[in-house]
Chains A and B, each alone.
Chain A
Amino acid sequence: MSQKRDWVPWLYLAPALLILGVYLVYPIVGTVYYSFFDKRSEHFVGWANYKWALTSKVMHIAFRNNILWLIFFTVFVVAFGLLLAVLADRVRYESPLKSIIFLPMAISFVGAGVIWKFVYAYRPKGAPQIGLLNAIITALGGEPVGWLVNRSVNNFALIVVGIWVWTGFCMVVLSAAYKGIPRELLEAARVDGANEWQIFRYVTLPLMVPTIAVVTTTMVINVLKVFDIVYVMTNGDFGTEVLANRMYKEMFNFRNYGRASAIAVILLLAIIPVMLINIRRFQEEEALR
């Protein structure tokens, strides 16, 4: 198909390249540039925005919470996903079960936020509890908890919402990998007298490691940018701030484009290793073609 000076491919590429240039490439350069300027992007301030980002109290809370999210969200979605993938395969109601777990993926984070804000609803002791969680706790004789304001639990209350949304995704990907393991392999281990745990530990798990790695990376990318759930449920109050929500606040509430840009660049830096892994994986795949 190739000829010399074939300009036809560029006709097909032009709209995409133009839009990618305007909406992704140019802004990346722009944001890096703005991150070295003051709030209105008028005066060069050197590393001041980054210094603020790395030393201020609000940003420390945001970093801490992003790390909490990173650890607890990622571990639980992957673990639950794996558990469901392996166990659901053994029951007859596998398909409705998976539908129920996957369902939250259809719902917006804003919707999920409302659903869970209602689950966490708090009334003072003695008043009828209309939130499910506090109703259970008071029925068992406990004191109602302000799930979203109590600083020792509120971050975890938000993380639970994230886990509720994303477990279905992990389950479906891991389940596909699990079903790809040849049944004879598992049967052979059973015949050799291995129990179910040993089969999982020494046969299933090693075979699923590549898929688990892909799912984990995807979840890490997701969780670094967590925004909607926090924005809707607490707006980062009571010690629940995260980087993406802070960036939004710097941008719209404080009109500080310098600081907001610095936060965005930090997010990008955190994701660059994943980007490089993706590119390398792509090049390896291409080499096999």
Chain B
Amino acid sequence: MIRRLELSIARVPLHVVLVGMALAWFIPTLGLLISSFRTQDAVLSSGWWTVLRNPFLAGQFTLENYKAVLEAQGMARAFVNSIIITVPATVLPILVAALAAYAFAWMDFPLRRTLFILVVGLLVVPLQMTLIPILRLYNKTRLAGTFPGIWLAHTGYGLPLAVYLLRNFFSEIPRDLFESAFLDGASRWTAFRVIVLPLSVPALASLAIFQFIWVWNDLLVALVYLGGTEKVAPLTVRLSSLVNSLGQNWHLLTAAAFISMALPLVIFFSLQRYFVRGILAGSVKG
């Protein structure tokens, strides 16, 4: 009994460290969430933590901030833009990469190894190296400020990683499966559709989640190729310009910030396992 007590006392520092870190990581987000539901007067006159004294006091919370940023500050439009940008910018690179990865994994062609080493090399190239020439190209071809322009840009930037991961995944598929399929007269295209894609659903899902979150949260690429016009700007661009224009209007900024995080958070909580796998797989991206 005493031995047990000693053991649990010895573990107190462990719990202090871990719970302390959990609080430090969680409280900033909590403050944002609570503030986004408070009135302007309340946010400016007292800290958000004062709410915790009377958390159930009726009438201290409001949805007005959300209404205001969605309508007057253009966050609703930005949300739609983010969806329009992110969905094709997720599907397109994975589709293109899957085709190439299949060739790299299961076909013979000259320069196969050299080309794949090129892909590995391109993995870590900083985006910054590409911005000016592409922007010039876009200004000439009028792709600047358009959705197709940013879809293609994200496809380009997402490709090295997607090709690399999918090729590694595809090459783990047992050779026998292909051999028996080809004996049955299947074409390479059939083998791709019937063997490769169905067996790779987990890898494709993880990759899709990574690419989705990456594009959704991207600021730089959107800022450079789309610019700040409200018609096309995604959430991140809109939010960053609100940080400048709204200044100390924390009741609005916090609501706008939360809107920009809502979808990734839903994905995080509902698909946590794929989410973690995707982020881990995508960690080396330039």
Residues of A within 8 A of B (CB): 1-2, 6, 8-10, 12-13, 15-17, 19-20, 22-28, 30-31, 34, 80, 83-84, 87-88, 90-91, 93, 97, 99-111, 113-119, 121, 128-132, 135, 164, 167-169, 172-173, 218, 221, 224-225, 227-228, 231-232, 244, 247-248, 251-252, 257, 260-261, 263-265, 267-268, 271, 274-275, 278-279, 282-283
Which of A1, A100, A129, A167 meets B47, CB within 8 Å? Answer: A129
Are the C-beta atoms of B31 and A13 separated by less than 8 Å? Answer: no
Q: Which of chain B's residues have a CB closer than 8 A to the CB of A93?
A: 18
Q: What would 15 more interface pairs be, CB under 8 Å, given A108-B218, A247-B128? A: A9-B103, A13-B109, A23-B157, A25-B122, A27-B134, A30-B132, A87-B17, A88-B18, A109-B217, A110-B243, A114-B32, A115-B32, A231-B240, A232-B243, A278-B120
Are the C-beta atoms of A110 and B130 separated by less than 8 Å? Answer: no
In the docked arrangement, what's the CA distance between A228 and B222, Å? Answer: 12
Which of A16, A88, A128, A218 meets B97, CB within 8 Å? Answer: A16
Asked if B84 is an interface residue, CB under 8 A from chain A, the answer is no
Q: Which of chain A's residues have a CB closer than 8 A to the CB of B272?
A: 99
In the docked arrangement, what's the CA distance between A97 and B248, Å? Answer: 32
Q: Which of chain A's residues have a CB closer than 8 A to the CB of B224?
A: 248, 251-252
**Restricting to B235-252, which residues have a CB under 8 Å from any CB of A?**
235-236, 239-240, 243, 248, 250
Q: Which of chain B's residues have a CB closer than 8 A to the CB of A264?
A: 126, 128-129, 131-132
In the docked arrangement, what's the CA distance between A222 and B118, Å? Answer: 21
**Restricting to B20-41, which residues have a CB under 8 Å from any CB of A?**
21-22, 25-29, 31-32, 35
In the docked arrangement, what's the CA distance between A16 and B194, Å? Answer: 22
Are the C-beta atoms of A106 and B213 separated by less than 8 Å? Answer: yes
| Cross-chain pairs A/B with CB under 8 angstroms, 7 sampled | A15-B99, A84-B18, A91-B18, A108-B260, A111-B217, A111-B239, A118-B32
Residues of B within 8 A of A (CB): 11, 14-15, 17-18, 21-22, 25-29, 31-32, 35, 43-49, 96-97, 99-100, 102-104, 106-109, 115, 117-134, 136-137, 152-153, 155-157, 159-160, 163, 178, 182, 188, 213, 216-220, 223-224, 235-236, 239-240, 243, 248, 250, 253-254, 256-257, 260-261, 264-265, 267-268, 272, 275-276, 279-280, 283-284, 286
Are the C-beta atoms of A31 and B22 separated by less than 8 Å? Answer: no
Q: Which of chain A's residues have a CB closer than 8 A to the CB of B286?
A: 221, 225, 271
Q: Which of chain B's residues have a CB closer than 8 A to the CB of A282?
A: 117, 120
In the docked arrangement, what's the CA distance between A221 and B137, Å? Answer: 27
Q: How far is the CB of A210 from chain B (nearest CB, A)?
A: 15
In the docked arrangement, what's the CA distance between A283 and B117, Å? Answer: 8
Q: How far is the CB of B267 from chain A (nearest CB, A)?
A: 7
| Given known contacts A31-B132, A101-B21, A271-B124, A90 and B31 CB-to-CB distance under 8 angstroms | no
| Given known contacts A16-B159, A16-B163, A114 and B130 CB-to-CB distance under 8 angstroms | no
In the docked arrangement, what's the CA distance between A28 and B219, Å? Answer: 21
Are the C-beta atoms of B265 and A106 separated by less than 8 Å? Answer: yes
Are the C-beta atoms of A100 and B243 separated by less than 8 Å? Answer: no
Q: Which of A28, A90, A106, A264 has the most CB of B within 10 A?
A: A106
Are the C-beta atoms of B243 and A114 separated by less than 8 Å? Answer: yes
| Given known contacts A8-B188, A27-B130, A91-B14, A106 and B100 CB-to-CB distance under 8 angstroms | no
In the docked arrangement, what's the CA distance between A252 and B144, Å? Answer: 14
Q: Which of chain A's residues have a CB closer than 8 A to the CB of B129?
A: 27-28, 31, 264-265, 267-268
Are the C-beta atoms of B133 and A231 separated by less than 8 Å? Answer: no
Q: How far is the CB of A134 from chain B (nearest CB, A)?
A: 9
| Given known contacts A27-B134, A31-B132, A17 and B253 CB-to-CB distance under 8 angstroms | no
Are the C-beta atoms of A24 and B125 separated by less than 8 Å? Answer: yes
Q: How far is the CB of B209 from chain A (nearest CB, A)?
A: 10
Instruction: Return the chain A residue nearest B128 by Cβ.
Output: A264
Q: Which of chain B's residues have a CB closer than 8 A to the CB of A8?
A: 107, 188
Instruction: Return the chain A residue nearest B259 by Cβ.
Output: A111
In the docked arrangement, what's the CA distance between A164 and B272, Å? Answer: 19
